[in-house]
């Protein structure tokens, strides 16, 4: 959850612009936003995007690159069409509602480009936040040995090890997007990453896959935190 993109950014992030916003005349935009509305309600009920936390995006087109993305400050449990924006590959708003995207739109664009993702979902659960602090000194956390892992695309065994890098959070979204891109290139094949003290990002080759990744990986992060807590309680 971050403030709006600042007006001094060098990469087309100045939203004080006279670009005319198109008004929801793209069938793909309408379909994607409707699905994202439902995801928002589901995630809010589960406690993964409380307050105005989190942000969601989905690719409208690749050439030119266009994303449907939630506007900053929106309640993800009560999303409406007016709270979705269309942004271009530089993060500029070119259509949709009257709001502005979070500065974290740059992270969504980085994921889409590096991972060929079609959808990017960002949550702020208790479990991902706690875990990001617990394992920050290790630079990441491995989830392995759980049957639930078999719900991830291409995973056939509970012995699979799913690695989630942990990056230091930053208010400088241009710098953070560069670090995210470098991490994604270094760890090819990962399905998500954590920002320390902030939250969780995942993605998919479809919106359904991205949603499934959130459900599975949030479940496993909760299991890990509860397991560590239980072990600490026993040792006392």
Query: How confident is the model at residue 7, as a pLDDT?
Result: 39
By CB atoms closer than 10 A (0-12, 13-18, 19+), residue 46 is middle
User: Along the 236 residues of the chain, how does pLDDT read in single tens digits?
Assistant: 444 444 334 344 444 333 445 555 578 899 999 999 999 999 999 999 999 999 999 999 999 999 999 999 999 999 999 999 999 999 999 999 889 999 999 999 999 999 999 999 999 999 999 999 999 999 999 999 999 999 999 999 999 999 999 999 999 999 999 999 999 999 989 999 999 999 999 999 999 999 999 999 999 999 999 999 887 654 43
Element (H, E) at 181: helix 173-186
Element (H, E) at 56: strand 55-62
Query: How confident is the model at residue 229, as a pLDDT?
Result: 87
Rounded Cα distance between 41 and 146, Å, is 27
Report helix, strand or coil for 13. Answer: coil
- Tokens 């999303």 — which residue? 79
Can you give the C-alpha Rg of the chain in angstroms?
A: 18
Task: Give the tens place of pLDDT for each residue, 39-97.
Answer: 999 999 999 999 999 999 999 999 999 999 999 999 999 999 999 999 999 999 999 98
Query: How confident is the model at residue 64, as a pLDDT?
Result: 95
Rounded Cα distance between 11 and 215, Å, is 34
| Phi, psi (deg, nearest 5) at residue 110 | -60, -45
Query: How confident is the model at residue 90, as a pLDDT?
Result: 95
Query: How confident is the model at residue 24, as a pLDDT?
Result: 53
Query: How confident is the model at residue 134, as a pLDDT?
Result: 95
| 40: Cβ contacts below 8 Å, ≥ 6 apart | 49, 56, 70, 76, 77, 78, 79
Query: How confident is the model at residue 88, as a pLDDT?
Result: 97
């Amino acid at each position: 959850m971050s403030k709006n993109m600042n007006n001094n950014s060098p990469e087309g992030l100045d939203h004080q612009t006279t670009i005319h916003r198109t008004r929801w005349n793209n069938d793909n935009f309408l379909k994607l936003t409707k699905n994202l509305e439902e995801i928002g309600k589901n995630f809010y009920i589960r406690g993964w995007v409380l307050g105005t936390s989190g942000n969601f995006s989905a690719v409208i087109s690749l050439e030119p690159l266009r994303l449907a993305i939630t506007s900053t400050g929106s309640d993800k449990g009560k999303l409406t069409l007016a709270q979705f924006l269309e942004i271009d590959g530089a993060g500029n708003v070119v259509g949709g509602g009257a709001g502005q995207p979070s500065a974290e739109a740059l992270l969504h664009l980085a994921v889409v480009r590096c991972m060929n993702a079609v959808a990017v979902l960002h949550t702020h659960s208790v479990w991902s936040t706690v875990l990001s602090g617990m394992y920050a000194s290790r630079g990441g956390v491995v989830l392995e040995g759980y049957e639930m892992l078999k719900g991830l695309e291409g995973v056939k065994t509970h012995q699979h090890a799913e690695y989630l890098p942990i990056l230091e959070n930053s208010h400088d979204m241009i710098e953070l997007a560069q670090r995210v891109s470098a991490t994604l290139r270094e760890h090819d094949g990962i399905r998500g990453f954590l920002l320390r003290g902030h939250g969780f990002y995942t993605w998919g080759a479809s919106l359904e896959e991205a949603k499934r990744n959130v459900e599975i990986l949030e479940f496993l992060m909760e299991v890990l935190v509860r397991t560590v807590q239980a072990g600490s309680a026993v040792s006392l």
